[in-house]
Structure 1
Amino acid sequence: MIVRRSKPLLKQVRTWPAGTISALQDCFEQTTWITLKEAATDSDTVNLEEYTTSVTGYISKCIDDVTVSKTIITRPNQKPWMIAELADVLRDIFNISLSCTVVPTCFKTTTIVPVPKKPMVSCLNDYHSVAFTFIIMKCFKKHVMRRIKIQLPPSLDPLQFTYRSNHSTDDAFSTTLHLVLTHMAKKGTHVRMLFIDFSSAFNTIVPQHLIGKLSLLDLNTSLCNWILDILTGRPQSVLIGSSTSNILHCIV
C-alpha cells in the first residue's frame, strides 16, 4: 500500500518562546472583558459586530505582544489550541449571537482553497473546494449542532446514514445489498435501482428551503433564524498559493 506523506514546508509564523503561554494566560486573566462589552453597548443594546471585533482584535494583539515572528518548518497534523481563560467572553458572544439570531461577520468569513481531485487538472470541476473558517466559529457550530441533534425527533428516516452517529457509507452499502439479495432470493423477482449524484449538492442548497424543513422538525424559530443568518451574506475569498482574491459576499 502506498502512503502519501505531505512534505514539510517553510512558513512564517508566530512562535511561542519559553514562558509565553503563562504570560498570555496572565494577560487574559487580568483583562476586564466587560469593558469591551460596555464600549459596544448603547442604550442597553449590544452591538454584536463591534463587541466581537473588539474581543478578537484584543486577543490577536495580546498574542502579537508575547510571540515572535519566525520562519519554521511545518508538518501535517499540527493542531491549534484554545485557552480556557477565553471561555467566559466567548460564551457571552455566543449567547448574544443566538439570542439576536445574528452571526458576527468575522465568524462567517470564509477562505476557500481549491484542492485538486486528480493529478491532472483540466477544468474547475477537478477541484475540491475546501473552506476554512474562524477556529472559534468551528467550536461554536459544534455546540449548536449538538443542541440540534438533541432536539431532533426520533422519527427520522432509518435509511438516512449521513451525519448520524454510528452510521457510515459502509452501512448504506450493506443495507442496500441486504435488501436486494433478500428480495432476489424469491423466484421470478428482479430489482431496478436508480442512483442519483447531485452535482455540488451542498453548495446549491437554498437556505430558505432548508429553514422550512428544519421548522417542520420542530426546531425553535430563533435557532432556525440563526442558521439562516450564517448561510446568508457570507464574505468569501479564494486563496491560491500566497495570492488571495477579492472578497465576494454570498447573498444566499
Structure 2
Amino acid sequence: MSDHISVNLIPAYKPLICRTRPTTRTVQVWTEEASSALQDCFECTDWEVFKEGTDLDGYTSSVLSYLKFCTDAVLPTKTIKVFPNQKPWLDSTVKPLLKACDTAYRSGDKLAYSIARKRTEKRH
C-alpha cells in the first residue's frame, strides 16, 4: 500500500574473507631456551663426520638435513589460524602497538598519539 518500490540488490562481489576459509599453520617458536639448547646441540656435534664425502652437494645436503633435524627436535611448535585478509607482518608484537595508536587517536590526546606512532614506526 506504499508508493515506494522495494528492490533487493545482491552484490556480485563477495569479500575475500567470505570467499575463503581460514587456514591453520604450524609454526616453530624461537624462544631463549630453545636458542640455547640449539647452541648446545651444535657445540657437541662432531662436524668432521660430514666431511667424509668428497662431493660438495652431498656435504651440503647432509649438513642442512642435520640442521633441520636439530631445529625440529629442539624448537617447540604452535598451531595458528591464518585468515585470508591477515597481513603477514601483523604479528603479536605489532598488534598492541597499533591498538595503542588507535586508542590515543580516539582519545584526542595529540602527545600520546605522537608517542604511540613513533613506537610503531620503530618496530618497522
More helix by share: 2
Q: TM-score, normalised by structure 2?
A: 0.43
More strand by share: 1
Which protein, 1 or 2, shows the higher relative CO under an 8 Å CA cutoff with sep ≥ 6? 2
- Larger Cα Rg: Structure 1 or Structure 2? 2
